[in-house]
Structure 1
Amino acid sequence: MKLQITSFLTFQENNAEEAMNFYVDLFDSSKVIDIHRYGKEGPGKEGSVMKAEFELNGKQFICSDSFIKHKWTFTPAISNWVECKNEKELETLYSKLSENGFVMMPLDNYGFSRKFTWVADKFGISWQLNLQ
């Protein structure tokens, strides 16, 4: 059996499901696979995401709502790299991912790419969008 490595996103504002649905709606060939929720017995807020599995264009992710408030959050040191098919796709993703987020590198030609941007979305997840 091949070793499976999957990105795991830990949300601390009870917004894992909102983020997951945002990403699934944003990327083609994406879907929610499974959601397990906390019940009345806890330890997380009832109905929040204990563990959810989803795919973005065939790449598997897992997310959860942490019932423990950690001293850390998401960092741009780990990001999702997206090779865009065309300029329209890049600009659409840029617009939606940067809305209420933070642009770390504006859309531009940085020499290594014809058009590139690096953004953190409204949930704090970092995305590098590239067009060769």
Structure 2
Amino acid sequence: MKKQITTFLTFQDNRAEEAMDFYVDLFDNSRVIDVQRYGKDGPGREGTIVKAIFELNGALFMCSDSFIKHDWNFTPAVSNWVECETEEELKHVFRHLSENGDVKMPLDNYGFSRRFAFVEDRFGVSWQLNLG
């Protein structure tokens, strides 16, 4: 049996849809596949996401708005690796992901890559950007 492995992003601030739409707009060949929402009877706030499936340039992701407040959130120890084909693409993605985020490693040559950056976006999700 083939098992699909999919990144699942759990948002605790009801920003799952905002983040999903931001990512789908940012990356080429991306789309929202399915969205399930909480109804008026909850348990989450009406209209927020129970589970959404989306694709970022062929990679499947899922997200939700957790109605349970956890003691944890996203960590930079787990990140999304993005191979960019051009310097322009790298700069474009870096600019948008770093806006109101936290740049862990600015765009530079670190020896293991001629152009690389590590950024935590405004939603707390971490991205490693590499010029392939």
Report the TM-score range of the alignment, normalised by the length of the smaller protein: over 0.9
Aligned to 2:130: 130
Aligned to 1:57: 57
Is 1:12 paired with 2:26?
A: no
The one-letter code of the counterpart of 2:80 is N
Q: Deviations over 1:91-129 (max 9, x none)?
A: 000000000000000110000000000000000000000
Aligned to 2:86: 86
What displacement does 1:2 show? Answer: 1.1
Give, in whole Å, the separation in 2 of the partners of 1:112 and 1:32. Answer: 34
Is 1:66 paired with 2:57?
A: no
What displacement does 1:45 show? Answer: 0.3
Aligned to 1:116: 116
For normalisation by structure 1, the TM-score amounts to 0.99
Give, in whole Å, the separation in 2 of the partners of 1:3 and 1:47. Answer: 30
Q: CA RMSD in A?
A: 0.6
The one-letter code of the counterpart of 2:107 is L
Give, in whole Å, the separation in 1 of the partners of 2:94 and 2:26. Answer: 11
Percent identical pairs in the alignment equals: 70
The one-letter code of the counterpart of 2:73 is T
User: What is the aligned residue count?
Assistant: 132
Instruction: Tell me the SS of whatever aligns to 1:3.
Output: coil
Give, in whole Å, the separation in 1 of the partners of 2:62 and 2:15. Answer: 13
Aligned to 1:46: 46
Instruction: Tell me the SS of whatever aligns to 2:21.
Output: helix
For normalisation by structure 2, the TM-score amounts to 0.99
Give, in whole Å, the separation in 2 of the partners of 1:53 and 1:4. Answer: 13
Give, in whole Å, the separation in 2 of the partners of 1:13 and 1:94. Answer: 24
Q: Which runs of 5+ in 2 are unaligned?
A: none
The one-letter code of the counterpart of 1:67 is F
The one-letter code of the counterpart of 1:87 is E
The one-letter code of the counterpart of 2:68 is I
Superposition pairs of residues 95-114 of structure 1, within 5 angstroms: 95-114=95-114
Q: Which runs of 5+ in 1 are unaligned?
A: none
Aligned to 1:2: 2
